[in-house]
Structure 1
Amino acid sequence: MSLHHSSTCPPAELEARLRLHRLPEVGLRRFMTLIEAFGSASSALSAPAAAWRSLGVPAASCDARRCPEIRDGASAAMAWLERSGQHLLMWDQPGYPALLAEIDDAPPLLFVAGNPDLLDTPQLAIVGSRRASPPALDNAAAFSRCLSQAGFTITSGLALGIDGAAHRAALDAGGGTIGVLGTGLEKLYPQRHRGLAQAMIECSSAVVSEFPLDAGPLPANFPRRNRIISGLSLGVLVVEASLASGSLISARLAAEQGREVYALPGSIHHPGAKGCHQLIRDGALLVESVEQIIDSLRGWQNLPPAPVERSAHPLLALLHAAPQTSEGLARSSGQGLAQVLASLTELELEGRVTNEAGRWFARSG
């Protein structure tokens, strides 16, 4: 059974926890209350109804204990765990992510498809609009790629738009990425990201959810999962968001959890920049380069080791000799202009070049 690491939870207790977890109106608070009150999920399930009532648990939860659907769902989850690459992390077992355990409402159970060890690596969340502008999608991909190369795991919500761009770019860079779902792992939403989720699982990344495997897409569950995205991460970068965006929920939760919040500024005329500008007014760090994010996390004890020697970039050598325009660099390097512009964008995000009045300068340091 792929309970992660050496679980001390016997199969009967595990199945009881899975049943308790599926009961209607048993959220994480009641789940923990029942286990604390009775000492185990098995004892809770066999306790008299009066004992449940005395804890303020609704009759609907108590009555559902005998329900065949609850038993069948738990059995299906036990069978799911038998397959390779499918795990259950529990709040009181080894392997539960340390940073997530610190938040007030950490999920007691976390289903993981893929590599569970990734959840304990230094992570940065990249979130933003589902209907993002093309420049915002490019920025999300560029930041994700550079942060991956700096050793961070990229965490997001597998939604359309910014989330998907961040996950894909991390995979393309050979980095790790974690998708936190607002549905059960067997009911992946949005359907359009099935291929992306599969690619993540196959590339030693991970897709995770606190919800029972067959939980469908209920609107209330998407904001709830945001506390896990920020809880797993050292900081949250909001790339583009309107004032009504769910990304602002992630950012506010991150701030409450003591995590760093970063926001990319945008045009004052673009509605998708208003959420980021509001976050900056509220104290988020305005970022224009990956270096600013890494610098703000310098004191963090689990930070990935800095790359020992940044590889010399051919365009940098040319710029150290003399500042040049993009077109001049394309001519002198023999590269196409599109390739030069893509390289310059990454170098600018890394804080290694700067553009002044149409000319590129190499930055010292």
Structure 2
Amino acid sequence: MTAANLQQHPLLPWLALQHTHGIGPVRAVQLHRKLGAQWYHSEQLEQCNFSQEQRQQLHTAHFELLDPLLEWQQGATNRHILSWDHPDYPEQLKATPAAPLLLFVEGEIAGLTQAQIAVVGSRHPSYVGKENTRKLIPALVEAGAIVTSGLAIGIDGLSHQSALESGGVTLAVLGSGLEKCYPKRHQKLANDLIDGGGALLSECYPWLGPLAHHFPRRNRIISGLSLGVLVVEAAQRSGSLITARYAIEQGREVFAIPGAWQNPLAQGCNRLIQQGAKLVMGANDILDELVAFSVAAVKILPPIQEELLPYPELLDNVGLEVTALDLIASRCQQPVQEVLTRLVELELAGWVEAVPGGYVRARRG
């Protein structure tokens, strides 16, 4: 690209806006709407209420950023740089306050404009949280939803993986640049996600690493892209609750899965439900609230036929939460060795599962 063409490159005005002190995304968009697409070269810019320093910054051509950005974009056929006024910029996100001025995408951009449901939760989920994610995601995919999350360990990563295994498309919003996949252990998942027709997104320049202040900003993009946000598990102080708060501010639906009040990972979800979030017991609880899926048919499983429970007094003391062997024995008032023998029989029959820390009730059928 010639120097003259670079001078007229449509990304330069947005780079100038991003690096002008005192002009955030909201004011930048107002400026664009007031002066039109050619605001950067408009004489009216001088009449706006900007300081001399701001005017100088607005007229600064950031070639030191433009050159590596174009080099990154040209490094692969599926890389995109979407400015706020780009025709492929997702309308759902554009309608939110403080939408990013620039969005970097690697993968298929078609999913950005389709109906999305965000799924977020704890980085250290319980067995129940994992099971709930694996159970809900396939039904959401079947209804036609794009699953959007943050590629973090825990519920985020499991949501992406479950969507892929269900034949769905999933989008991941990163808290780092797209060249610096974070966490690194999810690099393969990120590649699989792209290969599956999804995409990685970030508002960070591609070469930037993960920083603490990137992640709350990332969360507003996750919620902004989506029709609703499902919180699977969250402690009282959780990044997932930041996503839920953004969703409320953006006018999105918020869904939460309840849990036992003694479970620290359920406290955030229970609090959201107290504050008005939709309690979720199945995929239909989510889909029924969203117009885009109001006519979607979700398969209802037939009722499970009753059958006689083996060792019912023992099974009554093994729930969906992990229960230690000695605690089960104490509740049943039976010797530990006898309880262990019966648990092995129940595991072979598919009634319970041995997991780290004890046993949980299996989902038969």
The aligned counterpart of 1:352 is none
| CA–CA distance in structure 2, aligned partners of residues 293 and 303 of structure 1 | 9
| CA–CA distance in structure 1, aligned partners of residues 37 and 275 of structure 2 | 43
Please say if 1:303 is aligned against 2:293.
yes
Which of 56, 65, 68 aligns to 1:73? It is 65
Please say if 1:139 is aligned against 2:132.
yes
Q: Which amino acid aligns with 2:293?
A: L
The aligned counterpart of 1:217 is 210
Q: Which amino acid aligns with 1:14?
A: P
Residues 23, 61 of structure 1: 8 Å contact kept: no
The aligned counterpart of 2:57 is 62
CA-based RMSD? 3.7
| CA–CA distance in structure 1, aligned partners of residues 309 and 109 of structure 2 | 43
Cα distance, 1:64–1:147 mapped onto 2, change above 3 Å? same
Which of 40, 45, 50 aligns to 1:43? It is 40
Please say if 1:87 is aligned against 2:80.
yes
The aligned counterpart of 2:315 is none
* DSSP 3-state at the match of 2:8: helix
Report matched runs for 1:303-322 at 5 Å: 303=293, 306-307=296-297, 310=299, 316=302, 319=304, 322=305
| CA–CA distance in structure 2, aligned partners of residues 206 and 303 of structure 1 | 22
The aligned counterpart of 2:313 is none
Please say if 1:115 is aligned against 2:108.
yes
Residues 173, 201 of structure 2: 8 Å contact kept: yes
Cα distance, 1:341–1:75 mapped onto 2, change above 3 Å? farther
Deviates more, 1:125-134 or 1:159-168: 125-134
The aligned counterpart of 1:175 is 168
Cα distance, 1:52–1:341 mapped onto 2, change above 3 Å? farther
The aligned counterpart of 1:165 is 158
Q: Which amino acid aligns with 2:230?
A: L
Query: Whose radius of gyration is greater, 1 or 2?
Result: 2
Deviation, structure 1 residue 11: 8.7
Please say if 1:155 is aligned against 2:148.
yes
Deviation, structure 1 residue 165: 0.6
Paired-residue identity, % = 39
Deviates more, 1:12-21 or 1:233-242: 12-21
Aligned residues: 317
Please say if 1:14 is aligned against 2:7.
no
Query: What's the TM-score, normalizing by structure 1?
Result: 0.74
Deviation, structure 1 residue 34: 6.1
Deviation, structure 1 residue 58: 5.8
Listed as ranges, the gaps of 5+ residues in structure 1 are 2-8, 328-335, 343-357
Residues 18, 74 of structure 1: 8 Å contact kept: no
| CA–CA distance in structure 1, aligned partners of residues 265 and 38 of structure 2 | 46
Question: In proportion to residue count, which structure has more helix?
Answer: 1
Deviation, structure 1 residue 193: 1.3
Deviation, structure 1 residue 305: 5.3
Residues 176, 182 of structure 2: 8 Å contact kept: yes
Deviation, structure 1 residue 216: 2.2
The aligned counterpart of 1:250 is 243
* DSSP 3-state at the match of 2:254: strand
Residues 97, 119 of structure 1: 8 Å contact kept: yes
| CA–CA distance in structure 2, aligned partners of residues 52 and 145 of structure 1 | 55
Residues 14, 83 of structure 2: 8 Å contact kept: no
Cα distance, 1:76–1:361 mapped onto 2, change above 3 Å? closer
Query: What's the TM-score, normalizing by structure 2?
Result: 0.74
Cα distance, 1:64–1:140 mapped onto 2, change above 3 Å? farther
| CA–CA distance in structure 1, aligned partners of residues 230 and 108 of structure 2 | 23
Which of 175, 183, 191 aligns to 1:190? It is 183
Deviation, structure 1 residue 185: 1.2
| CA–CA distance in structure 1, aligned partners of residues 288 and 352 of structure 2 | 25
Which of 11, 28, 51 aligns to 2:25? It is 28
| CA–CA distance in structure 1, aligned partners of residues 364 and 155 of structure 2 | 30
| CA–CA distance in structure 2, aligned partners of residues 118 and 55 of structure 1 | 38
| CA–CA distance in structure 2, aligned partners of residues 206 and 62 of structure 1 | 33
Q: Which amino acid aligns with 1:74?
A: L
Q: Deviations over 1:36-78 (max 9, x none)?
A: 677567836x99xx95995258669829936xxx423311211
Residues 182, 222 of structure 1: 8 Å contact kept: yes
The aligned counterpart of 1:324 is 307
Residues 171, 200 of structure 2: 8 Å contact kept: yes
Deviation, structure 1 residue 296: 2.0
Residues 184, 216 of structure 1: 8 Å contact kept: yes
Q: Which amino acid aligns with 2:211?
A: L
The aligned counterpart of 2:356 is none
The aligned counterpart of 1:283 is 276
* DSSP 3-state at the match of 1:185: coil
| CA–CA distance in structure 1, aligned partners of residues 268 and 225 of structure 2 | 23
